[in-house]
Amino acid sequence: MARIIAIANQKGGVGKTTTAINLSAALAHFNRRVLLIDMDPQGNSSRGLGIDITLINRCIADVLLSESNINDVVRKSMIKTLDVLPSKLSLASIDVNIAGKIEQPFLLLKNAISSLKKEYDYIIIDCPPSLGFLTVNALTAANSVLIPVQCEYFAMEAVAQILSSVSRIQSTYNPELGIEGFLLTMYDSKTRIGTEISTQVRGLFKENTFLTQIPRNVSVPESNAKGLPVTIYRPSSSGSLAYFSLAKEVMDHEER
Ligand SMILES: Nc1ncnc2c1ncn2[C@@H]1O[C@H](COP(=O)(O)OP(=O)(O)OP(=O)(O)O)[C@@H](O)[C@H]1O
Ligand SMILES: [Mg+2]
């Protein structure tokens, strides 16, 4: 049965999509069967895996609206054991489209993917930068949430907000939702803010913070632009090695 991990933080640009793509690719590298679900209408994780979202007819929105069979929308990636459920802009208006028509709108994603759980070892969900409808669906469907924390100013305020959303979901739609871990991203040991945020997060959430920190590394945005995971574009770059190391930590949780 797949372990379902949502990657969430309502703060924009903290490394959610980069982590979704590269953690998925690294898990697949270790022979895990992985499905990456793009729950962001920006479609960045679909694009980051080389999918031209202007050319696709159907996306996750059609699955959630029961207009397409999920098996017809899942696509293969350049990595053998990594599949993608792409998104495009139409996902942005889904909450308006279903308003008043569906009884339990926050269970849409959970119900949509239940038939796929046997096919994968991991289902990774890339969330948009908001705590709205799409993120609530992701947190309701997930076993755990991975929270990227960018080593920058105001990082801790964002952490407090996402944690309060997580506890709201735990007390309503998903009591079993766990914390997969906090992940420090775009870490630069040469900046004071980098070490400050790292120390604060590790001080507050010691047990729950990944030992792996993702360094700021130019190969990461370059790989994005090429539509490839950094683990394939520059396998021995510091960014790639960090994502391999993160994948090992996540796989260590399999025994939990
Ligand atoms: N380790 C890294 N080193 C250098 N640049 C990075 C790194 N991680 C992410 N970036 C860059 O930072 C930007 C934001 O990253 P990303 O898109 O992953 O964040 P996000 O949280 O998904 O953003 P959004 O909230 O818009 O969905 C991107 O341009 C990405 O290429
Ligand atoms: Mg993103």
Which atom, in ligand 1's list, is nearest to the CA of 44?
17
Q: Which residues pair with 3 in a beta bridge?
A: 122
Q: Whose CA is nearest to atom 16 of ligand 1?
A: 15
User: Using CA atoms, how far apart are residues 243 and 256, in angstroms rounded to an integer?
Assistant: 21
Q: Where would I find the H helices in the chain?
A: 16-29, 44-48, 60-64, 70-73, 94-98, 108-113, 133-141, 155-170, 192-204, 219-226, 230-233, 238-252
User: Using CA atoms, how far apart are residues 13 and 162, in angstroms rounded to an integer?
Assistant: 15
135, amino acid identity = T
CB-based contact 249:207 (threshold 8 Å): no
The bound ligand whose nearest atom lies closest to the alpha carbon of 217 is 1
Q: Whose CA is nearest to atom 23 of ligand 1?
A: 13
- Sheet arrangement for strand 178-185: 75-76, 82-85, 34-38, 122-126, 3-7, 144-150, 178-185
Q: Is the CB of 22 under 6 A from ligand 1?
A: no
pLDDT at 255: 72
| Mean predicted lDDT score pLDDT of the chain | 95
Span 42-68, pLDDT tens digits: 999 999 999 999 999 999 999 999 999
CB-based contact 249:181 (threshold 8 Å): yes
Span 1-22, pLDDT tens digits: 999 999 999 999 999 999 999 9
Span 188-238, pLDDT tens digits: 988 999 999 999 999 999 899 999 999 999 999 999 999 999 999 999 999
Q: Is the CB of 225 under 6 A from ligand 1?
A: no
CATH code linked to domain 3-249: 3.40.50.300
Q: Pull the structure tokens for residue 63.
A: 């699955």
Q: State the number of CA atoms in the 13 A half-sphere of 184 facing the CB.
A: 27
pLDDT class for 256, splitting at 50, 70, 90?
low
Task: Give the residue among 191, 18, 239, 220 at the shortest CA–CA distance from 199.
Answer: 191
pLDDT at 146: 98
From 18, 39, 184, give the residue whose CB has the most ligand 1 atoms within 8 Å, as the site to mutate: 18
pTM of the model: 0.97
66: Cβ–Cβ under 8 A, 6 or more apart, which residues?
Answer: none
CA–centroid distance, 69 to ligand 1, in Å, is 31
pLDDT at 16: 98
Place of tokens 């766990």: 178
